[in-house]
Structures are given as structure tokens and as C-alpha cells.
Chain A
Amino acid sequence: MRHFLTTTCMGAAALLAAGTANANDELIKLQQDSKQWVMPAGNYANQRYSPLKQITADNVGKLQVAWTFSTGVLRGHEGGPLIVGNMMYVHAPFPNTVFALNLSDENKIVWKYEPKQDPNVIPVMCCDTVNRGLSYADGKIFLHQADTTLVALDAKTGNVVWSVKNGDPGKGETGTSAPHVIKDKVIIGISGGEFGVRGSVTAYNLKDGKQVWRAYSMGPDSDTLMDPQKTTNLGKPVGPNSGTNTWQGEQWKIGGGTTWGWYSYDPELNLFYYGSGNPSTWNPKQRPGDNRWSMTVFARDADTGQARWVYQMTPHDEWDFDGVNEMILADQNIGGTTRKTVVHFDRNGLAYTLDRTNGELLVAEKYDPAVNWTTGVDMNKSSPTYGRPKVVDQYSTDKQGEDVNTKGICPAALGTKDEQPAAFSPDTGLFYVPTNHVCMDYEPFRVRYTAGQPYVGATLSMYPPQGEQNMGNFIAWDAKTGKIVWSNKEQFSVWSGALATAGGVVFYGTLEGYLKAVDAKTGKELYKFKTPSGIIGNVTTYEHGGRQYIAILSGVGGWAGIGLAAGLTDPTAGLGAVGGYAGLRNYTSLGGVLTVFALPQ
């Protein structure tokens, strides 16, 4: 225990210290107030940690449902509510309804906003019509709609203050991610990697919604906002046209690298961090080269969008291992030195710890022992393949080729983890990671691009690792050394964002619908309650009227709702295999409900 404590307590405090005099000051102050939850991950460091400690490992077993709220929407509910002052803001998947609830007045609905959107956006959302939530700043609530409209609502009335369209659903561009407010800008990403969308991040003025800059994941330097000399990759300048020179022809124009994850921000360095998704198509043969900067960790200047450093985790992706997952900032003692780190649990099954000031790679290790497509990352700085994963030929869908079914790849395209964000506790120094434990067969084949139509190019089947029944794990991870500290088996993938608290309790949800509380030190299960539907939302905590509450959105769906609804099958079982593994539909059904817990009074 002492070992863990020495490391990271200073992290959060240091992050919150800096800042400049603008709209951001309000948020920097608000995120320090543990009674509220004013941004998607609770704080800019993306830690999903709360200093609240009324609920502890000793008393969490007595938790009770305090109140519930239905969103009236049946599709998959990702993300979680915001708590600002005495108000709670709850969002829903398409049609992207927003409710403002007064926590001081029986959780009464103060206002409701429901945008009118063309339902034709529904089928161009690859994996259900999810929405990952809202942001707050300057008396406004920001909603990133399915049709890519970014709208600013008056937090008091729900009236539209301004609205701007970020993309074109006719080309498969959609909005699923939460907006992120940094200083005087609202920053949003884009979805549509399965439709040949070229990913970008765009900043809009907080005041009036005017576009300030846009940074693409690939393309000429003027599009990627890269400086050939000043932008670095593993300590070296990226050089000119790094966003086009690892692509054949003009494939980069439909190159993917979408940007729908959870961003973090370091006010001291004035850098924000996010990852880019898969290159398109899923058929690697159709896009020779490294396909930069898909699958990349980006550190960009919060004012100009200029890229400071990049690191491509999976050059020339062959498995759909999007690099969009959250970037968590923590200051950690590594090899005797305190480093400002960014920690990222990638879909590819590797957990990365990098120096967030300069992008130096510190740790890259598997966070599920089942991961087999790589033997690991080359950590030798003088090697020509420094920083690259060593790919195992047997699991290379490029080496095996088009029209060949490459079998037994772990993890599956879902990744060892997808968007479901991990939590970090400065008290234990550990990361709490919801994971998938699923493998796949992957067969790439030739596809043709049509704007607004799916552009996939591979057939997949998924199943648990051989000889195992559990399709998920909830783990505690030491990012200083790259080791699993404890691991709890879960029957299904854990597709819910975790929450760590100063009470020594870690919370997460399961696809069957359980909200679970476990001991932060040991992983021991302390409490569980079955909510009305499967959980793909993120756990949130807040304090109101002297009580600590735990809130979770249930409402099964998302990618998890596609693959797991009917249950997975084992293709090795041969012809006629039926329902080899449990189907989610035997455990839960649809429906968006917020369940809020507290200790009995």
C-alpha cells in the first residue's frame, strides 16, 4: 500500500493549479469542487476520480436507490450526467434529448430540449445511436448531436444560444462524442470511421460558435496543423507532409482516423490530448503504408490546435484497433523520477504510459494476457523500429492477405477496451480499467467507396479466448510498471466507465445491468444492484444536501448490444454450433434509466 501512495497524490492538484484569465477559470475552479461534476470525466485530467468519501468500503454495502429517472429513449445510453450547482443535466441517445433536473426541488424537470434531426442519420451511425454526454461552461450546456450539430443551450432555460453544423451526415459524418470546453473554446471530434470519413478535431468559440480552427488526422500539413520541424514523433521532427506520405495515392482523403474519444487537458502545458481511430477501409491491402496519423496519440496546443507531438500506436492497422480511447493525465514516479504522464489503454490491448510534455514512450505493456497479435513494443531507442509493435505474422491480416480468414486474433475489433473510460485514483496510484476479453477471426476483402455508404471491407466473428467463458475483466493497473494488480472476471465485456473515490471504493456497471462497488485495494466486491437495463454508461458521483450520491445511466446498446445480444459463437465448434456462449438478451432488455444511489439517512 505504501508503495502506491508515494506516487501520484500530487498529480491532480498540480494540474489544477495553473490557468489563464478567461472562461476557463470558472471550469478550473468548478472541477475542484467535489460536490459537482461539471465535465464528462469529472476533471480535466480525465481521471474519473472524486475526493468524496461519505461512501466508504465499510459502508457501501448499505447503499440504496435514492431516486430514478427515465429518459424515454430505448437505444444504448453511453456517458453520464453533469451536476452543476443544484442542477443535473441528463442526455439521451438519438433524438439527443436533454433534461435539466432541479436537485433541490424533488428532481423536477426544469426544462427539456429535443432537437429535430433527420432520422436518416440513424443508419449512418455505425454502432447504435449513442451519445456520450454534455459539457458545461459560462452558463451554457453544450450538446453534440448525432447529425454533428453543436448546440449551446442556456443552462437556466434550455433556450438555444447558438448552433453550428460540424459535418455532413450525407457523407457518413456523425456526432457521438461529448464536447470538451477548454479555455474560450468548445472542441469536438467526429465519428464515421466505417464510412471513409477523414477524422478531424474542430474548435468553436464559446461565446458565438464561430469556428476557430480545424485539425485533420491526415492530409497536408496545413490540414493536420503540423509543423514539420516543431511537431515531434518520439522526439524527432515529423518532417514535411507526414499526413500524406505514408498513404498510397489519395486514399488519405477517405482515410478514417476519427476522433470520438474522451479528451484531457493540462492547463499548465496548455496542451490537450486525444487519440485518432482506425484508417479506412478495414482491408489493410487497400491502403499500403503506415497510414499516418490514424491510430495516434495527439498532443495539441489548446489555443491554435497546432500539434506538439504525436505517437502512432498501431501503424498500418490490420484489425480495427481504433486509438480513440481516453487519455488520462497523472503525475507518476517512474524509475525514481516524477514524470508528467499521459496513460492510455488502447483498443490494441496495450496500455501506454508516455511523458505528456514531449511524447516520450515510457511503458507499453499488454493489459490482458490474452493479447496475441503482437509480442510487444520495441523500446530500444536506437532501433530503427523504436516504438513500433512487433506484429506476429500468424495474426497479421495483411500478411495472410485478402480473402483469407485469419483466425484466433486477440483482442477482437472491440479491443481489450473500447470507449468505456477507466478511472485513476491518486490515493492508490492505480488505474481501474473496464475491459473486453474477446478474440476474433478477421477476413479482409476488397471494397469500393461510395460517399455516405458503409466502407468496411472485412468480415469478423468474435468469441472468448479459447477455453474461457468470461468475455470481460475489470482490472486494477499499475501504469508505472505496466502490470495488472488485480483482475475480476465478468461474464460479459465491461462496457461502463469506472469511478474511483476517496472512500476507497471503485464503481462500474455491467452489461447485465449491475452497478458494482469494489474495494480499490483488493477488487473485492462490496455491493451490487441490478438496474433496469444493461449498463454502457459511466458512473458519476456528487454531493447534495450533505449526502453523497452515485449516479449511473443504464440502457443497453452500443457496439456491445450488437455482438453480445444474441450471444457469441465459437467458430471452431464447426457447422451447426448454436449459442456457444450466453446471450445478453437472456439477462436484460432495452430502456434508458438513470439510477441514483445513496446511503440510508
Chain B
Amino acid sequence: MRIRFLAAALALAALAAAALADGSGDPAAVKNEDGKYLDKEGNPTFNVGVDGTVDWYTYSGYRRYHSECHVCHGPDGEGSTYAPGLKNSLKTMSYGDFVAVVASGRKNVDAARESVMPALGDNPNVACYMDDLFVYLRSRANDAVGRARPAKYERKPETAKQNEDSCIGKG
């Protein structure tokens, strides 16, 4: 509880410092590498066009999240009765921490809680889409994408296709 409070306080402080910031810093995209957007720190980030078109990875992350993650973390990163809303988690969690927790898991087991996040690093359906998931949830943390399937999205980049084929294997 104390940690959570502290984290919330830090998040508030961070929000005061910059108009837009999350656990990985300013999410503004400064670079586009074949449809993959990066912030000034080089972290993956989302991009939403003026007409609401989202980048491919945000859209792909939406799909993968609602297959692999939502059965615990609830629809749209909103949380469930027993797992945290990742929309909020990413307000304070960095890209590196996110990847580490998804890959290695996390346990919070005590008298009042039995929260266990499994290690998903060996699960190609998750591991091959780590950046997609991060970018989608980052967009949710910043309220850049709403609580629904993005209606319009950029076409799937060649790089994404190649990476997917080599990572998950062709059916």
C-alpha cells in the first residue's frame, strides 16, 4: 500500500513536470522506423493521426492484449476483480520494467492477496508481441486511445511481417 501511494505521488509529480508523461517518459513520437514509432529516449511508442488512425503496433497490441492478457487484467487494460489495470500501471512503469515483468512474472502473495503474474517469456504468443502490447497499453495510459478496438489503423509494415514470421513461425 505504501509503495502504491508513493508511486501515485511520483506519478503526480511527473505529471506536473510535463503535460504528457508516463513511466517511460514523454510518449511523443519523434521517429518512425517503418511504421514503428519511437520516443526521444528510443522507447517504442504509439502514434495517433488527426483522424484517429493508430499505428499498426497499437492495433496489433489491442488484439494480442485481448487474447493473452485480458482474462486477468480485464478489457481495455481496465483491471479485473483480482489483477491490476495495466492502463494505470504503465503510468509509472518503464518500458524496461514492463518487459521484465511480462517475461519473468511477479508474485504478491501474502495474507490478503494471492496475485501471481506468470512468466510469459517462453510464450511466443506474448513474447513475439512484447512491443505491440507495450505500445497499446502506453496509448491507454495516456488516454490517446479509448476503450474500444481502434477503428482505423496503418497497414501492417513489412518489418512487422518479417519479425512475426521469424519469431512465431509461419502456420
Listed in ascending order, the chain A residues whose CB lies under 8 Å from chain B are 74-76, 94-95, 119-120, 122-124, 126-129, 194, 286, 405, 441, 443, 445-448, 450, 453-462, 556-557, 561-563, 565-571, 573-579, 584, 590
Contacts and interface: CB of A to CB of B under 8 A. Distances in A.
A462 B80 CA distance: 15
A447 B169 CA distance: 10
Contact of B81 (A95, A128, A446, A458): A128
Contact of B151 (A94, A448, A574, A578): A574
Which of B68, B81, B123, B168 has most A Cβ within 10 Å? B81
Given A571-B149, A575-B146, A75 B124 contact: no
Contacts of B169: 448
Nearest to A574: B151
Given A445-B67, A569-B76, A124 B118 contact: yes
A570 B62 CA distance: 15
A566 B75 contact: yes
A413 B112 CA distance: 31
Contacts of A453: 118, 120, 122-123, 125-126
A71 to B, nearest CB: 13
Contacts of A578: 146-147
Contacts of A123: 72, 105, 116-118
Contacts of B148: 461, 569-571, 573-577
Given A75-B82, A574-B148, A575-B148, A446 B168 contact: yes
B85 to A, nearest CB: 7
B124 A448 contact: yes
B75 A458 contact: no
A75 B78 contact: no
6 contacts: A119-B116, A127-B71, A453-B125, A456-B67, A457-B67, A562-B72
Nearest to B149: A571
A557 B81 contact: yes
Given A445-B63, A445-B67, A448-B168, 5 more contacts: A128-B82, A129-B114, A447-B67, A566-B85, A571-B148
Interface string B65-99: 11110111011101111100100000000000000
Interface residues of B, number: 46
Which of A441, A458, A566, A569 has most B Cβ within 10 Å? A566
A129 B116 CA distance: 11
A462 B64 CA distance: 16
B56 to A, nearest CB: 13
Contact of A579 (B52, B62, B107, B147): B147
Given A123-B118, A565-B78, A194 B171 contact: no
A446 B171 contact: yes
Nearest to A76: B81
B150 interface: yes
B146 A561 contact: no
Contacts of A577: 146-148
B2 interface: no
Contacts of A94: 114
Task: Provide the main secondary structure of the chain A interface.
Answer: loop
A568 B62 CA distance: 16
Contact of A459 (B63, B72, B113, B115): B63
Contacts of A456: 67-68, 71, 125
A571 B66 CA distance: 13
A126 B67 CA distance: 12
Given A448-B124, A569-B148, A462 B116 contact: no
A460 B69 CA distance: 11
Contact of A450 (B79, B105, B124, B147): B124
> Which A-B residue pairs are the 5 nearest by beta carbons?
A561-B81, A566-B78, A123-B118, A576-B146, A453-B123
B104 to A, nearest CB: 13
B109 interface: yes
Contacts of B68: 454, 456
Contacts of B145: 575
Contact of A122 (B79, B85, B116, B149): B116
A33 B67 CA distance: 47
B55 to A, nearest CB: 14
Nearest to A555: B81
A128 B72 CA distance: 7
A402 to B, nearest CB: 8
Contact of A565 (B64, B80, B150): B80
Contacts of A460: 66, 70
Interface in B143-161: 145-151
Nearest to A75: B82
Contacts of A566: 74-76, 78-80, 85
B107 A448 contact: no
Nearest to A127: B71
A461 B66 CA distance: 8
B52 A575 contact: yes
A338 B121 CA distance: 58
A284 to B, nearest CB: 13
Contacts of B171: 286, 446
A575 B116 contact: no
Contacts of B147: 569, 577-579
A268 to B, nearest CB: 41
B120 A561 contact: no
A120 B74 contact: no
Contact of B125 (A454, A573, A576): A454
Nearest to B80: A562
A565 B71 contact: no
Which of A127, A453, A574 has most B Cβ within 10 Å? A453
A119 B114 contact: yes
